[in-house]
Structure 1
Amino acid sequence: MGLFSGTISNLEYGLSYASTKNKVVAQNIANSDTPNYKAKDVSFAKMLEDAKTSSVSAYRTDNKHINFTTSSTKTPGVYSYTNLSYRQNGNGVDMDKEQASLAENTIYYNALIDRVSGKLNSLLTVAKGGS
Protein backbone atom coordinates (compact mmCIF):
# COMPACT_ATOMS: atom_id res chain seq x y z
CA MET A 1 0.00 0.00 0.00
CA GLY A 2 1.42 3.32 -1.05
CA LEU A 3 1.60 6.46 0.97
CA PHE A 4 -1.76 8.34 0.73
CA SER A 5 -3.14 5.58 -1.52
CA GLY A 6 -1.45 7.00 -4.63
CA THR A 7 -2.64 10.56 -4.11
CA ILE A 8 0.84 12.05 -4.25
CA SER A 9 1.67 10.21 -7.49
CA ASN A 10 -1.61 11.37 -9.07
CA LEU A 11 -0.80 14.94 -8.07
CA GLU A 12 2.66 14.45 -9.56
CA TYR A 13 1.10 13.45 -12.90
CA GLY A 14 -1.07 16.57 -12.76
CA LEU A 15 1.97 18.74 -12.04
CA SER A 16 3.81 17.17 -14.97
CA TYR A 17 0.88 18.03 -17.23
CA ALA A 18 0.69 21.59 -15.90
CA SER A 19 4.42 22.08 -16.36
CA THR A 20 4.30 20.82 -19.96
CA LYS A 21 1.26 22.98 -20.67
CA ASN A 22 3.06 26.04 -19.28
CA LYS A 23 6.09 25.41 -21.51
CA VAL A 24 3.90 25.01 -24.59
CA VAL A 25 1.92 28.19 -23.90
CA ALA A 26 5.14 30.13 -23.25
CA GLN A 27 6.55 28.82 -26.54
CA ASN A 28 3.39 29.91 -28.36
CA ILE A 29 3.58 33.40 -26.86
CA ALA A 30 7.28 33.69 -27.69
CA ASN A 31 6.56 32.76 -31.33
CA SER A 32 3.49 34.93 -31.76
CA ASP A 33 5.26 37.01 -34.45
CA THR A 34 7.08 34.15 -36.20
CA PRO A 35 5.82 33.64 -39.76
CA ASN A 36 4.19 30.24 -40.43
CA TYR A 37 4.49 29.15 -36.77
CA LYS A 38 1.58 26.92 -35.77
CA ALA A 39 0.29 27.07 -32.22
CA LYS A 40 0.68 23.98 -30.04
CA ASP A 41 -1.45 22.64 -27.22
CA VAL A 42 -1.34 19.84 -24.66
CA SER A 43 -3.99 17.23 -24.07
CA PHE A 44 -3.87 15.33 -20.78
CA ALA A 45 -5.61 12.31 -22.35
CA LYS A 46 -3.15 12.31 -25.24
CA MET A 47 -0.26 12.79 -22.80
CA LEU A 48 -1.40 9.75 -20.83
CA GLU A 49 -1.82 7.70 -24.00
CA ASP A 50 1.62 8.73 -25.29
CA ALA A 51 3.20 7.88 -21.94
CA LYS A 52 1.73 4.38 -22.09
CA THR A 53 3.02 3.75 -25.59
CA SER A 54 6.14 5.90 -25.64
CA SER A 55 8.59 3.22 -24.57
CA VAL A 56 8.35 -0.28 -25.95
CA SER A 57 11.09 -2.83 -25.48
CA ALA A 58 11.57 -6.16 -27.18
CA TYR A 59 10.68 -9.43 -25.50
CA ARG A 60 13.87 -11.46 -25.74
CA THR A 61 13.76 -15.22 -25.40
CA ASP A 62 17.47 -15.63 -26.10
CA ASN A 63 20.56 -13.57 -25.25
CA LYS A 64 21.48 -13.46 -28.95
CA HIS A 65 18.33 -11.53 -29.77
CA ILE A 66 18.88 -7.85 -30.41
CA ASN A 67 17.47 -5.69 -27.67
CA PHE A 68 15.73 -2.56 -28.85
CA THR A 69 13.55 0.10 -27.38
CA THR A 70 11.50 2.67 -29.16
CA SER A 71 10.72 5.99 -27.67
CA SER A 72 9.17 9.15 -28.95
CA THR A 73 11.47 12.13 -29.42
CA LYS A 74 8.60 14.59 -29.10
CA THR A 75 7.07 15.73 -25.84
CA PRO A 76 4.14 13.46 -24.87
CA GLY A 77 0.69 14.99 -25.31
CA VAL A 78 1.79 17.99 -27.38
CA TYR A 79 0.16 18.53 -30.75
CA SER A 80 0.06 21.35 -33.31
CA TYR A 81 -2.83 23.13 -34.95
CA THR A 82 -1.52 22.65 -38.49
CA ASN A 83 -4.52 24.04 -40.37
CA LEU A 84 -5.08 27.18 -38.29
CA SER A 85 -3.91 30.69 -39.22
CA TYR A 86 -4.77 33.95 -37.49
CA ARG A 87 -2.58 36.24 -39.58
CA GLN A 88 -1.60 36.82 -43.19
CA ASN A 89 1.93 35.50 -42.52
CA GLY A 90 0.55 32.05 -41.61
CA ASN A 91 1.03 32.41 -37.86
CA GLY A 92 -1.49 30.39 -35.85
CA VAL A 93 -1.15 31.98 -32.39
CA ASP A 94 -4.12 33.76 -30.83
CA MET A 95 -2.58 35.89 -28.07
CA ASP A 96 -5.83 36.35 -26.17
CA LYS A 97 -6.39 32.59 -26.05
CA GLU A 98 -2.78 31.93 -25.02
CA GLN A 99 -2.85 34.48 -22.20
CA ALA A 100 -6.15 33.07 -20.90
CA SER A 101 -4.72 29.56 -21.11
CA LEU A 102 -1.61 30.66 -19.21
CA ALA A 103 -3.73 32.20 -16.43
CA GLU A 104 -5.94 29.10 -16.20
CA ASN A 105 -2.93 26.79 -16.10
CA THR A 106 -1.26 28.89 -13.39
CA ILE A 107 -4.35 28.58 -11.19
CA TYR A 108 -4.46 24.81 -11.81
CA TYR A 109 -0.74 24.43 -11.00
CA ASN A 110 -1.05 26.46 -7.79
CA ALA A 111 -4.04 24.37 -6.69
CA LEU A 112 -2.04 21.18 -7.20
CA ILE A 113 0.90 22.60 -5.26
CA ASP A 114 -1.47 23.48 -2.38
CA ARG A 115 -2.81 19.89 -2.35
CA VAL A 116 0.71 18.40 -2.32
CA SER A 117 1.69 20.78 0.46
CA GLY A 118 -1.41 19.80 2.46
CA LYS A 119 -0.66 16.08 2.07
CA LEU A 120 2.95 16.52 3.14
CA ASN A 121 1.95 18.70 6.10
CA SER A 122 -0.49 16.02 7.27
CA LEU A 123 2.34 13.46 7.05
CA LEU A 124 4.53 15.78 9.11
CA THR A 125 1.78 16.13 11.71
CA VAL A 126 1.46 12.36 11.97
CA ALA A 127 5.24 11.93 12.21
CA LYS A 128 5.37 14.44 15.06
CA GLY A 129 2.67 12.54 16.92
CA GLY A 130 -0.20 14.90 16.25
CA SER A 131 1.27 17.98 17.85
Structure 2
Amino acid sequence: MSLFSTTFQTIENGISYASQKQQTIAQNIANVDTPNYKSKTVSRTSEFRDLLHNELEAYQTDSKHIPFSDSSQRAITQQGNTSYQANGNNVDMDKEMADMAENQIYYEALVDRLNGKFNSLQTVIRGGK
Protein backbone atom coordinates (compact mmCIF):
# COMPACT_ATOMS: atom_id res chain seq x y z
CA MET A 1 0.00 0.00 0.00
CA SER A 2 1.31 3.40 -0.95
CA LEU A 3 1.56 6.07 1.73
CA PHE A 4 0.66 8.82 -0.73
CA SER A 5 -1.74 8.75 -3.63
CA THR A 6 -0.63 9.49 -7.17
CA THR A 7 -1.98 13.01 -6.74
CA PHE A 8 1.42 14.36 -5.71
CA GLN A 9 3.05 12.92 -8.82
CA THR A 10 0.26 14.28 -11.01
CA ILE A 11 0.61 17.75 -9.49
CA GLU A 12 4.40 17.57 -9.85
CA ASN A 13 4.01 16.72 -13.54
CA GLY A 14 1.59 19.61 -13.93
CA ILE A 15 3.97 22.08 -12.31
CA SER A 16 6.80 20.80 -14.48
CA TYR A 17 4.63 21.26 -17.57
CA ALA A 18 3.67 24.80 -16.53
CA SER A 19 7.33 25.64 -15.96
CA GLN A 20 8.36 24.33 -19.38
CA LYS A 21 5.48 26.17 -21.03
CA GLN A 22 6.45 29.40 -19.25
CA GLN A 23 10.04 29.06 -20.50
CA THR A 24 8.83 28.47 -24.05
CA ILE A 25 6.51 31.48 -23.95
CA ALA A 26 9.31 33.65 -22.52
CA GLN A 27 11.62 32.49 -25.30
CA ASN A 28 9.00 33.41 -27.91
CA ILE A 29 8.52 36.86 -26.39
CA ALA A 30 12.28 37.45 -26.16
CA ASN A 31 12.62 36.67 -29.87
CA VAL A 32 9.70 38.78 -31.07
CA ASP A 33 12.00 40.93 -33.25
CA THR A 34 14.45 38.21 -34.31
CA PRO A 35 14.36 37.76 -38.10
CA ASN A 36 13.01 34.38 -39.27
CA TYR A 37 12.34 33.18 -35.69
CA LYS A 38 9.44 30.73 -35.54
CA SER A 39 7.39 30.49 -32.35
CA LYS A 40 7.33 27.29 -30.32
CA THR A 41 4.57 25.62 -28.33
CA VAL A 42 4.49 22.88 -25.71
CA SER A 43 1.89 20.17 -26.20
CA ARG A 44 0.81 17.14 -24.19
CA THR A 45 0.61 13.66 -25.65
CA SER A 46 -2.83 12.16 -26.07
CA GLU A 47 -1.95 8.82 -24.47
CA PHE A 48 -1.20 10.39 -21.11
CA ARG A 49 -4.27 12.63 -21.28
CA ASP A 50 -6.42 9.53 -21.79
CA LEU A 51 -4.72 7.76 -18.86
CA LEU A 52 -5.09 10.80 -16.61
CA HIS A 53 -8.72 11.29 -17.58
CA ASN A 54 -9.45 7.76 -16.40
CA GLU A 55 -7.53 8.26 -13.12
CA LEU A 56 -8.42 11.81 -12.11
CA GLU A 57 -11.66 13.53 -12.91
CA ALA A 58 -11.78 17.21 -12.04
CA TYR A 59 -15.10 18.99 -11.59
CA GLN A 60 -15.43 21.70 -14.22
CA THR A 61 -18.32 24.09 -13.56
CA ASP A 62 -18.04 25.94 -16.87
CA SER A 63 -16.83 24.87 -20.31
CA LYS A 64 -14.60 27.97 -20.40
CA HIS A 65 -12.64 26.85 -17.33
CA ILE A 66 -9.15 25.45 -17.82
CA PRO A 67 -9.23 21.66 -17.49
CA PHE A 68 -7.29 20.22 -14.54
CA SER A 69 -5.14 17.68 -16.32
CA ASP A 70 -1.55 17.34 -17.30
CA SER A 71 1.07 15.22 -18.94
CA SER A 72 4.52 14.05 -17.99
CA GLN A 73 5.05 13.44 -21.70
CA ARG A 74 5.11 16.55 -23.83
CA ALA A 75 6.65 17.85 -27.01
CA ILE A 76 7.88 21.26 -28.09
CA THR A 77 6.82 22.00 -31.64
CA GLN A 78 7.82 24.86 -33.88
CA GLN A 79 5.12 26.76 -35.75
CA GLY A 80 6.83 27.26 -39.11
CA ASN A 81 3.94 27.74 -41.53
CA THR A 82 3.06 31.38 -40.77
CA SER A 83 4.73 34.78 -40.79
CA TYR A 84 3.31 37.85 -39.01
CA GLN A 85 6.15 40.25 -39.73
CA ALA A 86 8.06 41.26 -42.87
CA ASN A 87 11.25 39.74 -41.44
CA GLY A 88 9.75 36.22 -41.42
CA ASN A 89 9.01 36.16 -37.68
CA ASN A 90 5.72 34.58 -36.61
CA VAL A 91 5.50 35.49 -32.90
CA ASP A 92 2.05 36.89 -32.11
CA MET A 93 2.44 38.95 -28.92
CA ASP A 94 -1.28 38.94 -28.14
CA LYS A 95 -1.39 35.14 -28.30
CA GLU A 96 1.79 34.80 -26.24
CA MET A 97 0.46 37.12 -23.51
CA ALA A 98 -2.87 35.25 -23.42
CA ASP A 99 -1.01 31.91 -23.20
CA MET A 100 1.11 33.31 -20.38
CA ALA A 101 -1.95 34.43 -18.41
CA GLU A 102 -3.64 31.04 -18.91
CA ASN A 103 -0.47 29.23 -17.85
CA GLN A 104 -0.20 31.38 -14.72
CA ILE A 105 -3.77 30.50 -13.69
CA TYR A 106 -3.06 26.82 -14.33
CA TYR A 107 0.14 26.97 -12.23
CA GLU A 108 -1.58 28.76 -9.36
CA ALA A 109 -4.40 26.18 -9.35
CA LEU A 110 -1.84 23.37 -9.10
CA VAL A 111 0.05 25.07 -6.28
CA ASP A 112 -3.23 25.69 -4.45
CA ARG A 113 -4.14 22.00 -4.78
CA LEU A 114 -0.68 20.99 -3.54
CA ASN A 115 -1.07 23.27 -0.52
CA GLY A 116 -4.43 21.65 0.20
CA LYS A 117 -2.88 18.17 0.12
CA PHE A 118 -0.09 19.24 2.49
CA ASN A 119 -2.61 20.88 4.83
CA SER A 120 -4.58 17.61 4.90
CA LEU A 121 -1.43 15.67 5.76
CA GLN A 122 -0.56 18.19 8.45
CA THR A 123 -4.03 17.79 9.98
CA VAL A 124 -3.63 14.00 10.02
CA ILE A 125 -0.17 14.25 11.63
CA ARG A 126 -1.53 16.58 14.34
CA GLY A 127 -4.33 14.11 15.05
CA GLY A 128 -7.14 16.21 13.60
CA LYS A 129 -6.36 19.35 15.60
The TM-score normalised by the length of structure 1 is 0.75
User: Equivalent residue for 2:63?
Assistant: none
Tell me how far 1:3 sits from its aligned partner. Answer: 3.7
User: Equivalent residue for 1:123?
Assistant: 121
Tell me how far 1:21 sits from its aligned partner. Answer: 0.4
Tell me how far 1:4 sits from its aligned partner. Answer: 3.9
User: Equivalent residue for 1:69?
Assistant: none
The unaligned stretches of length 5 or more in structure 1 are 49-75
Letter of the 1:42 counterpart: V
Residues in 2 aligned to 1:124 and 1:86: alpha-carbon distance in whole angstroms: 52
Tell me how far 1:42 sits from its aligned partner. Answer: 0.3
Runs (4+) off by over 4 Å:
none
User: Equivalent residue for 2:105?
Assistant: 107
Residues in 1 aligned to 2:93 and 2:16: alpha-carbon distance in whole angstroms: 24
Tell me how far 1:15 sits from its aligned partner. Answer: 0.7
**How many positions carry a matched residue from both structures?**
106
| Residues 71-125 of structure 1, C-alpha deviations (whole Å, 9 max, x = no match) | xxxxx51110012211110001000000000000000000000000100110011
Instruction: Find the residue that maps to 1:43 and give its secondary structure.
Output: strand
Over alpha carbons, which structure has the higher Rg? 1
Calculate percent identity across the aligned residue pairs: 57
User: Equivalent residue for 1:55?
Assistant: none
Residues in 2 aligned to 1:16 and 1:87: alpha-carbon distance in whole angstroms: 32
User: Equivalent residue for 1:45?
Assistant: 45
Cα RMSD after superposing both structures? 2.1
Instruction: Find the residue that maps to 1:5 and give its secondary structure.
Output: coil
Residues in 2 aligned to 1:86 and 1:2: alpha-carbon distance in whole angstroms: 51
Residues in 1 aligned to 2:21 and 2:3: alpha-carbon distance in whole angstroms: 27
Residues in 2 aligned to 1:79 and 1:16: alpha-carbon distance in whole angstroms: 17
Letter of the 2:100 counterpart: L
| Residues 26-48 of structure 1, C-alpha deviations (whole Å, 9 max, x = no match) | 100010010000000000227x6
Tell me how far 1:14 sits from its aligned partner. Answer: 0.7
Letter of the 1:21 counterpart: K
